[in-house]
Amino acid sequence: MIQRIQSIWLLLAALVLSGLFIFPYLSYIDLVGLGKQLYVTGSYSAVNNEAIKQESHWLQTIVTILLIILPIYTIFQYKNRKRQILLIFIEIFLIVLFWILLFFSAHSTLSLISQPFGAENIGVGFFLLPVAIILLAMAIGGIRKDEKLIKSADRLR
Model pLDDT for residues 54-101, shown as the tens digit of each residue: 445 788 888 899 999 999 999 998 888 899 999 999 999 999 999 998
> pLDDT at residue 155 above 80?
no
Angle in degrees, CA 131, 64, 90, rounded to 5: 70
pTM: 0.79
pLDDT of residue 46: 41
pLDDT of residue 114: 67
Instruction: Please provide the average confidence, as pLDDT, over all residues in the chain.
Output: 80
Q: Hey, where are the domains in the chain?
A: 5-156
Q: Exposure pattern of 88-100 as b/e (b: 16+ CB <10 Å)? A: beebbeebeebbe
Higher model confidence: residue 107 or residue 65?
Answer: 65
Higher model confidence: residue 87 or residue 51?
Answer: 87
CB 45 within 8 A of CB 110: no
DSSP 110-148: HHHTT----TTTB-GGGGHHHHHHHHHHHHHHHHHHHHH
Give the DSSP H or E segment for 58: helix 54-75
In percent, how much of the chain has pLDDT > 70?
Answer: 72
8: burial class by Cβ within 10 Å (0-12, 13-18, 19+)? middle
